[in-house]
Amino acid sequence: MKKYFTFLVVLSFISLIPLQAQNFEFAYETGLGNADRGRSVIQTNDGGYASIGYTQTEANGTDILFIRTDSGGQEIFRKTYGGSYDERGYSLAQLSDESFVLACMSKSFNDSHNEDWYILKVNQIGDILWTKNIGNSGVDIPYKVIATTDDKVYIAGRVYGFQSATLNTKDGYLLKLNTDGNIIWSHIVDYGTDEEIYDVYQCQNGDLAMCGKMYDSSAEYNTIVVNRVASDGVEKWITKYSLSSSNVSFGITEMPNTDLIVVGYQSLWSSGCDYSWNLHLKRLSANGDVLKEKGFRKCGDQKARDVVAVTEDEFVVVGYGSRKLGGASEGIFIEKYDTTLTVSWSRIFGGYERWNESYSVEQTADSGFVCGGFLTNNKSETSSPIYDEDMIILKTDVNGKVDHLYVSENPVLFGNVPVDSTVYDTICFVNHSFLPIRFSNHFDNSSQSNFAIVAGEYTGNDYVNPRAADTLYSVIRFTPRDTLDYAEEIDVLWGYGTWSLSHEINIPVVGRGRAEAEFSIDTIDYEETTVNSQEVEKFTIFNSGTTLLRLYALRIEPENSGFTFVNNAKQGSLDYSELENIDIAIGDSYEVFVQFEPETEGIYQAHLIIESNAVNSPDSIALKGEADGFLLVDELENNGVLVYPNPCKSKVYIESLNSKFSELKITDISGRIIIQKAISQKVEIIDLSGFKNGLYIMSIYGTKGLVVKKIFKIE
């Protein structure tokens, strides 16, 4: 039975668009109905994923299970390999020709039916190209295979009785093969008793670094062993790292500065707890010296199984344990640490049914991570549990997160909608998690909300099971009753019973009732206005929308700017802040009159602010005015002379009321004479346009004597 994991949907308005496959964080499960355990997953050369493990057969044995998916977790194919007895897959690597090398264990293909190394090379669609058996009379298992850029293959694990001196014990074992399966060299890890190698990593200089465990006879328990050999198989060093209690290492990687990170776990006792397997981390030099190590002593298990370096000073660890979930069941963890062995972030997955384990991690091309393992599910629909294990591929982002719930629109934005009209939007949900999710919302009662869910698979408070094969969708209706902002939420809660994995998100659903305002003018410009005069301009506010337009406030900013409101008779000022709301019906308008009354010369600027229920409120109308100058009449008691305007821009008028002029003299403030001439007309016009701005002294001689006047020249 094939399973397709849907992980991205794009739908808009009320029509449903077919599902589109995109790169996305996801969680894939085999869902075969058998017990399927994954052991390792890699990203393939085409950006997809390949996973290996084993599946339960009808005869209650196991066969190797090999699965490929595309980059979004949709299964491409699955293959099983096996014989009459048990076979299991442990690790895989891809070569440059797109083929794969699978490191497996087999009992079917040797006379004694003991566990042997069973190495397969398969093409990109899983067809077998060759196989190779390696083993002896005991339990022989290959735990890890890696392929180098030049297509050399290294496989590490354990063998039994390969050395005459240790015939009845197991040793660590490393093979180098070519792409045809021929052995180039082999290396036995023998540092004491019962060595096993669980991981191998090729260092920057070509060396192979391996880690695992051995039995320390002096301490009488297992301890971590690390071995480094050159690319030609010659051993450089081997070291055991004894601790105060039994300990083992399962993952090794090299940092960019050539330090080695080794991860595993140690049996420790904590106050109030039984002995448990606690996380243990080591940072070693390239020569194996301990630079820093750290154990994490707490109740419950935390077993590290693999590690990958991700930056200059950070690495990511994956594994499983019960302590992470606060209960007896196991959950998968993925954690990021720096080289001080301090955790940066920690994520957990699964864990509400029995065993959930991850054995491998690698960084993907998008800087995220992919983990392989298995998950236990209760497939029973009754109170009697039926447990089943599924191989998983867990793809996370760079921060180890999986978008458990994909929502096609988050938030759901209706925008501006005319009052009393109805629009619809479609929102889609995909559950990516290993837990069921529960929806609830605050607007099921349409009499109390402007929103309502009116169609779709999810129409109210409900549960959505994990790994749903199809997308759930809901149609949301929005009918605003007024020109206001409206907001509600759909709540999504992950959780199962009393487990501590609950996580809640809120999907906002927002909309706004719409009104529209249109203005007859954007700028009111009074141009040249005489000081102390009153100029009034009108502008009109139109309701061009489909709903009532309500004016909440009109004001001029800044205050005392020379502009004021007046009524439509252009008499008296108005204070709109003291008025009630002004309603403008659809298609109607409202007139506003603004008066400009400058007290001094100069340029005036202000803004008329209009607050309303319109979409873009508040709106602003620019106010501009220019006071041209004083229309100043200088009435002299004894001489009857008028001089205007003052200040002036160019021409100034000198008018005689009851005397006769004879001479005019104008000087600047330094006393320099700039004009001196005889005058005799009743009204003399003097042109100052060619002179600089500033203060000038005007002396007028006539039959009534001398009149002296200051005059200001401006632009």
**CATH number where 699 lies:** 2.60.40.1930
Question: Do 96 and 72 meet the contact criterion of CB atoms below 8 Å apart?
Answer: no
Count Cβ atoms below 10 Å from residue 645 Cβ, excluding itself.
21
Average pLDDT over residues 332-346: 93
Question: Is the domain of 525 the same as that of 592?
Answer: yes
Full 3-state SS string of 462-508:
EEECCCCCCCEEEEEEECCCCCCEEEEEEEEEECCCCCCCCEEEEEE
> Distance between terminal CA atoms of the chain?
91
CA-closest candidate to residue 652, choices 678, 674, 684, 621: 684
Measured CA distances, 487 to 90, 411, 473, 484, 512 (Å):
52, 10, 20, 10, 9
Residue 81 scores a pLDDT above 60: yes
Please tell me which residue, 237 or 709, carries the higher pLDDT value: 237
* Sheet strands (E) in 585-703: 589-596, 602-612, 619-627, 641-644, 651-656, 661-668, 673-678, 683-687, 694-702
Residue 266 scores a pLDDT above 70: yes
Question: Do 462 and 472 meet the contact criterion of CB atoms below 8 Å apart?
Answer: no
pLDDT confidence band for 1 (50 / 70 / 90): very low
* pLDDT of the residue at 188: 93
What's the chain's length in residues?
A: 715
Count Cβ atoms below 10 Å from residue 121 Cβ, excluding itself.
19
Residues 6+ apart with CB under 8 A from 588: 542, 543
* 114 assigned to some structural domain: no
CATH number at residue 510: 2.60.40.10
Local structure of 48: helix, strand or coil: coil
Question: Do 141 and 157 meet the contact criterion of CB atoms below 8 Å apart?
Answer: yes
Measured CA distances, 202 to 60, 176, 188, 279, 388 (Å):
38, 12, 17, 24, 36
What is the separation of C-alpha 515 from the centre of its chain, rounded to a whole number of angstroms?
34
CA gap 278, 267 in Å, rounded: 6
Quick one: how many helices (H) and strands (E) in the chain? Answer: 0, 54
The CA angle 289-294-297, to the nearest 5 degrees, is 150
Count Cβ atoms below 10 Å from residue 489 Cβ, excluding itself.
18
Question: Is the domain of 317 the same as that of 250?
Answer: yes
Question: Do 234 and 247 meet the contact criterion of CB atoms below 8 Å apart?
Answer: no
Residue 514 scores a pLDDT above 70: yes
DSSP notation for 272-338 = TS-EEEEEEEEEE-TTS-EEEEEE---SS--EEEEEEE-SSSEEEEEEEESGGGTSSS-EEEEEEEE
Give the chain's radius of gyration (CA, Å).
43
Residue 433 scores a pLDDT above 80: no
Local structure of 577: helix, strand or coil: helix
Measured CA distances, 284 to 277, 306, 342 (Å):
22, 16, 16
Residue 196 scores a pLDDT above 70: yes
Question: Is the domain of 327 the same as that of 273?
Answer: yes
Question: Do 133 and 114 meet the contact criterion of CB atoms below 8 Å apart?
Answer: no
Which residue is associated with the tokens 């690790």? 91
* 32 assigned to some structural domain: no
Question: Is the domain of 447 the same as that of 415?
Answer: yes
Question: Is the domain of 614 the same as that of 691?
Answer: no
Residue 2 scores a pLDDT above 50: no
Q: Which of 499, 514, 529 is the C-terminal boundary of a domain?
A: 514
Average pLDDT over residues 85-91: 95
* pLDDT of the residue at 350: 66
* 434 assigned to some structural domain: yes
* pLDDT of the residue at 200: 98
Residue 11 scores a pLDDT above 70: no
Tokens of 219: 């301490």
* pLDDT of the residue at 307: 98
Question: Is the domain of 358 the same as that of 275?
Answer: yes
CA gap 449, 447 in Å, rounded: 6
Total domains in the chain come to: 4
Measured CA distances, 355 to 35, 247, 321, 352, 504 (Å):
12, 22, 9, 9, 25
CA gap 476, 459 in Å, rounded: 9
- Least confident range of 35-49, 351-365, 366-380, 636-650: 636-650
CA gap 694, 55 in Å, rounded: 100
Question: Is the domain of 489 the same as that of 527?
Answer: no
* pLDDT of the residue at 662: 87
At residue 577, φ and ψ (nearest 5 deg) are: -70, -20
Sign of CA dihedral 321, 325, 327, 332: negative
pLDDT over 90 for what percent of the chain?
34
Give tens-digit pLDDT for 282-331.
999 999 999 999 988 777 788 999 999 999 999 999 999 875 444 556 78
Average pLDDT over residues 389-395: 86
Q: Which of 481, 514, 547 is the C-terminal boundary of a domain?
A: 514
pLDDT confidence band for 408 (50 / 70 / 90): confident
Query: Pairing relation of β-strands 275-284 and 260-269?
Result: antiparallel
pLDDT confidence band for 340 (50 / 70 / 90): very high
Q: Which of 467, 489, 514 is the C-terminal boundary of a domain?
A: 514
* pLDDT of the residue at 316: 97
Question: Is the domain of 492 the same as that of 523?
Answer: no
CA-closest candidate to residue 415, choices 480, 474, 473, 475: 480
Measured CA distances, 315 to 151, 255, 285, 336, 507 (Å):
26, 8, 16, 6, 34
Residue 61 scores a pLDDT above 70: yes
CA gap 695, 666 in Å, rounded: 10
* 200 assigned to some structural domain: no
* pLDDT of the residue at 23: 32
Please tell me which residue, 431 or 244, carries the higher pLDDT value: 244
* 313 assigned to some structural domain: yes
* pLDDT of the residue at 661: 83
Residue 230 scores a pLDDT above 50: yes
Question: Is the domain of 249 the same as that of 352?
Answer: yes
Residues 6+ apart with CB under 8 A from 438: 461, 462, 463, 464, 492, 493, 495
Burial class of 191 by CB neighbour count within 10 A (0 to 12, 13 to 18, 19+) = middle
Count Cβ atoms below 10 Å from residue 587 Cβ, excluding itself.
10
Question: Is the domain of 413 the same as that of 499?
Answer: yes
Containing structural domain, residue 433: 405-514
* 648 assigned to some structural domain: yes
Question: Do 212 and 199 meet the contact criterion of CB atoms below 8 Å apart?
Answer: yes
- Least confident range of 42-46, 132-136, 516-520: 516-520
CA gap 331, 306 in Å, rounded: 15
- Least confident range of 74-78, 312-316, 415-419: 415-419
Query: Pairing relation of β-strands 462-464 and 437-441?
Result: antiparallel
Please tell me which residue, 30 or 103, carries the higher pLDDT value: 103
pLDDT confidence band for 351 (50 / 70 / 90): low
* 35 assigned to some structural domain: no
Residue 563 scores a pLDDT above 70: yes
Give tens-digit pLDDT for 529-538.
777 777 888 8
* 373 assigned to some structural domain: no
* pLDDT of the residue at 617: 81
Question: Do 390 and 70 meet the contact criterion of CB atoms below 8 Å apart?
Answer: no
Question: Is the domain of 598 the same as that of 652?
Answer: no
Among 168-182, 325-339, 657-671, which range has the highest average pLDDT? 168-182
Question: Is the domain of 439 the same as that of 502?
Answer: yes
* pLDDT of the residue at 478: 87
Count Cβ atoms below 10 Å from residue 254 Cβ, excluding itself.
20
